[in-house]
Amino acid sequence: MSRLAALLLAVTFAVPALGQPAANPALTNPAGFTAQAPADYKVKFDTSKGAFVIDVKRDWAPRGADRFYNLVRGGFYDNARFFRVITGFMVQFGISGDPKVAAAWRDASIPDDPVKQSNTRGLISFATRGPNTRTTQVFINFADNGRLDAMGFAPFGQVVSGMEIVDALYGGYGEGAPRGAGPEQSRIQGEGNAYLTQAFPKLDYIKTATIVP
């Protein structure tokens, strides 16, 4: 496996930072989040750095678009950290802030979609840990990463406004431990956002993610 593929294979979950609001209790039941997404919908991310909007095209990757739609509607991404920001490559997020939610979604994978679009700058795809293992984590490409296409990473949308906000997300910590100085994913899983808040206070985060009317 290439180093590049390894960067995107791990899927981890987290617990909330101290003082964070609790996640939607319904999120502990993934079976209740199976609505079909519209053919085209937009998601606004209000973040600690500003706002950006993603336009999702269901025909690009139907299963991925449906999963993302349900997660956003349920508030899954609210209060999540942008915990892997690798300059010139991508920014990854999608760790739940509630350990009960994390446990519920750990094995709630969806089948792969065929790759119809290339992983170019501004496009968003699900992270995986192998074939048919997409759950909740996604990444936005900072650059043209077309080499990811053959690895099965299927874009389902693209940033249509606020890419300058995505570019500005804090990336000073770099790759996670042990490869770099960033967050250690085993500790994210065990200690969650409390660990990130204390040890990596400069990480930007999502305030809310909402479907644009």
18-42 pLDDT, tens digit each: 344 556 778 889 999 999 999 999 9
Q: What is the pTM of this model?
A: 0.88
51-61 pLDDT, tens digit each: 999 999 999 99
More confident residue, 19 or 64: 64
Q: Is the pLDDT of residue 1 over 90?
A: no
pLDDT at 96: 78
Give the mean model confidence (pLDDT) for residues 76-92: 94
Q: What angle do CA 52, 151, 27 make, to 5 degrees?
A: 50
pLDDT at 192: 75
% of the chain surpassing 70 pLDDT:
88
pLDDT at 13: 35
Give the mean model confidence (pLDDT) for residues 137-146: 97
pLDDT at 3: 52
What's 3-8+39-211's CATH class?
A: mainly beta
pLDDT at 8: 52
Task: Outline where DSSP puts E strands in 58-146.
Answer: 84-86, 90-93, 123-126, 138-141
165-189 pLDDT, tens digit each: 999 999 999 897 778 888 877 777 6
- Domain residue ranges of the chain, discontinuous segments joined by +: 3-8+39-211
* Count of C-beta atoms within a 10 Å radius of residue 181: 12
Q: Is the pLDDT of residue 14 over 50?
A: no
Q: Is the pLDDT of residue 122 over 90?
A: yes
More confident residue, 181 or 121: 121
Please enumerate in sequence order all residues whose Cβ is within 8 A of that of 198, keeping only pairs 6 or more positions apart, or say none. Answer: none
Give the mean model confidence (pLDDT) for residues 110-135: 97
